């Protein structure tokens, strides 16, 4: 990726002082689509949209950053509400089956990212493994949709998810 570039003075590719000003500067020099990953709060979602992002990915980065944070799916509702469909919202993390896709769409995601399942398929069987993982997830999503009585993705909404957790 950095072939032919002198990066001898670069000490870190992710600045520790990443701020909204940094995003503003990035937006000013980057004329293409800009999607920000790692948004987990209403406040950050609103600020990201104000700073001109083209999309958000709700993600706790697999919990690697810290182990006391919420699951991505638990952050999705407040982020989607803050965005109010002004930009697409994706969710990354914990998507392992078609019913997880259904829940994410019901809670406000426009799309989901499936990191680990496709990697498992790739590691096991190459391209055919990835295709099989996608086929399985598609079939499971269709089963969840049929069980809920939805005929299209666009019919999936919040009313299909009940939160029984005790708060």
Check residue 35 and give its pLDDT: 96
The answer to whether 61 is a known catalytic residue is yes
Starting at the edge strand that comes first in sequence, how are the strands of the sheet with 89-92 ordered?
Answer: 35-39, 55-59, 89-92, 111-113
Q: pLDDT: is 6 or 16 the higher one?
A: 6
* CB 57 within 8 Å of CB 113: yes
Check residue 122 and give its pLDDT: 96
Residue 57 DSSP code: E
Check residue 109 and give its pLDDT: 98
**H helix intervals, 20-106:** 20-29, 42-50, 72-83, 98-106
Tell me the per-residue pLDDT of 61-89, one tens digit each, with 9 for 90 and over.
765 555 667 889 999 999 999 999 999 99
Q: Has this prediction a pTM greater than 0.75?
A: yes
Residue 137, phi-psi category: left (phi > 0), alpha (psi -120 to 50), beta (remainder): alpha
Residue 92 DSSP code: E
- 133-144 CB burial, b ≥16 within 10 A, e <16: beeebeebbeeb
What domains sit in the chain, N to C, each tagged with a CATH number? 20-114 (3.20.20.70)
Catalytic residue chosen out of the listed positions 61, 70, 97, 132: 61
Q: How many residues does the chain have?
A: 167
Check residue 147 and give its pLDDT: 97
66 three-class SS: coil
């Amino acid at each position: 990726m950095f072939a032919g570039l002198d990066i001898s003075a670069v000490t870190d590719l992710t600045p520790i002082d990443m701020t909204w000003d940094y995003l503003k500067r990035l937006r000013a020099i980057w004329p293409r689509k800009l999607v920000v990953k790692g948004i987990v709060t209403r406040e950050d979602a609103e600020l990201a949209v104000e700073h001109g992002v083209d999309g958000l990915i709700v993600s706790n980065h697999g919990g690697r950053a810290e182990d006391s944070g919420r699951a991505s799916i638990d952050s999705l509702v407040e982020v989607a509400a803050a965005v109010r469909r002004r930009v697409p919202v994706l969710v990354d993390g914990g998507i392992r089956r078609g019913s997880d896709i259904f829940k994410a769409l019901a809670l406000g995601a426009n799309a989901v990212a499936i990191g680990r399942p496709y990697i498992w398929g790739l590691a096991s069987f190459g391209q055919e493994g990835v295709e099989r993982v996608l086929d399985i997830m598609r079939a499971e999503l269709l089963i969840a949709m049929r069980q809920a009585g939805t005929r299209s993705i666009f019919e999936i909404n919040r009313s299909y998810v009940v939160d029984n957790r005790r708060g």
